[in-house]
Amino acid sequence: MGDTGENRLIQGRYRLLDLIGRGGMGEVWRARDESLGRQVAVKCLKPLGHQHDHSFTRVLRERFRREARVAAALQHRGVTVVHDFGESDGVLYLVMELLDGRNLSQLLEDNKQHPLPVADIVEVADQVAAALAYTHRQGIVHRDLKPANIMRLDDGTVKICDFGIARLGHDIGFTSRLTGTGIAMGTPHYMSPEQIGGSDVDQRSDLYSFGCVLYELATGAPPFDLDDAWAVLVGHRDTPPEPPRSHRTELPEFLDRIILDLLAKEPGQRPHDAREVGHRIDAGRSTPAYVPTVVSARVRPETLQRPASHQVQQAHEARLPSWTHGMTTGHKATGAGLRSTPPDAAAGLTGDWIARTDTRGAQAPVPAERPAPSPELLTTLAGRHNAGLSLGRLGRWAEAGEVHRAVAAEREHALGPDHPDTLASRYEVGFTLSRTGRPADALREYTRVAGTREHVLGPDHPDTLAACQEMAYVLGRLGRHFEAHQIYTTVLATRERAMGPDHPDTLRCRHNLAFNLSRLGRLEDSYRMANEVATARARVLGAHHPDTLVTRYEVAYALGQLGRWPEALGTYQEVAAARAQALGPDHPDTLAARYEVGISLGRLGRSAQALELYRGLIDDRTRVHGPAHPETLRARHGLGVNLGRLGRWEEALAESRDVRAVRERILGADHPDTLVSRREVAVGLGWLGRWADALTEYRRVAGARERVLGVDHPDALASRNDEAHCLEQLGRGVEAAELYRRVAALRQGRAGAS
């Protein structure tokens, strides 16, 4: 927005006067509310860069509105009042009360980073505890509590700021994980161990951050005052903080104990809630000797010997989640934001391996003792694992597979075959096999991983469910849809019970189940479930989120299978338009939806429109992917089909022959797409009365399909039917009748077997 806001009017009401603050999420302006004649603060969020797609920004806007309403509903003297919110010229803004005072970061800077007077610390602690107690009762967790977000007004009132912004930041992080952009919220110096580990956070995470703030006010520096982000994060997770009184002896014992209890590594060892903290502050003010009422975190003897060194940092890097890779410390006691690299959910390096305990209290067998691998080796393997993930994100699946296979072998040697990190690598091996057209090999890998995870982690663990779901997916790829259905049903029941019906993983499983139902011929069930998932995803993620559009695409497919082509066409057109806006006109998903629009137009007899669509699609596919790309050839095939439907058979035959020749060269003579083109050549020859040539093509298609799929496969039988029809046209009725009888017998045998 720049620093010259004079005369800039937001929504025709808020006139920006001067810039009074800038932070990681945006700028704060002093402004005048022209309607009410009062001065206010307007916080303008930074516009998102070009790396964010349209779908992401739409989801962000919806979440901003929801969280701003939550912030505006908070009414407490210790929470900044939110008057209004909205969007102006693409910039999201919040209108808040204008506060006269300084935030705690500024107070420390004014004091040259010297600690605040004890009386001031106790007063701030008391008021912040009261504000947190109120907001936590409303079910609101701040998630980014730090000195820059706490204001002390000129009259001594202390207020917590940015509840809506902090919650919005968390939601940006959630959305980015869905879209792969990877923004992590939280400043390292004030992050709780559970935030660092990627676990769900609740009010106790705010209490930990509150402890970090009090530690800095009391000593002049946060508990782990290191310049390297890794060392800061490792400190939060593994190193007991030095007691504040060891830095400043005049601190009262009760305050020292409260701060240390707030900084307990385990959430359950911190004070129960902020209200309890307030009671303890009041008791400490009036009681000379403080007796702790909450057990503080136990100090592990071995950690007391650790120096805060680079070697300690290296030893624990592998235990931190991959989204922390490349993190910088940011600024202590300021409002600067923090960016990180994208999260790798499958990295598997988020904590020590603990064998599960079953419901009877018996522990699952643990591996035999083996020499502990060196921290350097673990760090190296973690880096190589993440390199494999990066190759996959670039679509270089074969190279990614080689990396993951090598890392899996080394992890198995160093950690054992059942260790979660070894299994994480095995899982990625399966994923790369699936993406390189080897579903049978992928199934073997996933089956192994799922079985071991069930034994070690339990059948309901998210990692176990992820492996089972991938098993079902590759079973579907192998045509084993009934087995896939059984696994999807089991996984879905567990996900709904553990995560709820609207969790993204639950919805993903239901989407896959809907897809599989259509392959089982249960078209009405498939359509109904896909519709339900599309509705839920639109509610949770937004109508134009890529996941919502994927499911709507499946709804359209089910409609087409049911013969409801007008509805299918309308849905495909809506998906194509939404994808063009959200993902861009050249995105593969946008182009795929346009292709299906062409299919639907052809099915409805609107071949002239289909022809026009395919010509444009071929141009775009050629420009984006090249003339020999399978999807370019698919569009050319559609063009040839619709030329035939318009009776332009010479052109149709020429197009089909060209596509067949390229497919045979690129994909191979027996590839399904090549055979489809060969059949289309035969159709064109037949319509031109060249039945002898058509017979040769039909027989080649039938022979190849029998070799690849089996003599009783529906596609092979359809090809033999084509051959029989051609024989009839050539006047060879006896041969045709015999072939028809053979096909009928094979179909009857197949039906009886099933």
Among candidate residues 363, 445, 452, the one with its CA nearest the CA of residue 416: 452
pLDDT of residue 754: 55
pLDDT of residue 382: 87
Among candidate residues 379, 366, 363, 204, the one with its CA nearest the CA of residue 275: 204
pLDDT of residue 724: 93
CA distance 217 to 703: 81
pLDDT of residue 321: 53
pLDDT of residue 335: 39
pLDDT of residue 327: 52
What does pLDDT average to in each consecutive run of 10 residues of the chain (754 residues)?
Answer: 60 90 78 90 74 64 79 87 86 89 90 85 95 90 90 91 60 35 55 82 93 95 80 84 90 93 94 92 64 31 36 45 51 41 30 39 49 85 86 82 91 91 93 89 94 91 92 90 92 90 88 90 91 91 87 93 94 94 88 95 94 95 90 94 94 95 90 92 94 94 90 89 93 92 85 62
pLDDT of residue 56: 61
Binding-site residue positions:
43
pLDDT of residue 314: 45
pLDDT of residue 329: 56
In the residue annotation, 3 being an active-site residue is answered as no
Q: Is residue 302 a contact partner of residue 152, using CB atoms and an 8 Å limit?
A: no
Pairing of β 38-45 and β 82-88: unpaired
pLDDT of residue 521: 85
Write down the catalytic residue from 53, 144, 256, 344: 144
- Kindly compute the dihedral angle of the four CA atoms of residues 84, 87, 89, 90, in this order, to the nearest 10 degrees: 150
Binding-site residue positions for ATP:
43
Give 310-366 as a DSSP string: HHHHHHHHTTS-GGGTT-----TTS------PPP-TT---SS-----B-TTSPBPP-
Q: Which token pair is 254?
A: 């009760």
Q: Is residue 44 a contact partner of residue 85, using CB atoms and an 8 Å limit?
A: no
The strand pairing partners of 29, in sequence order, are: 19, 42
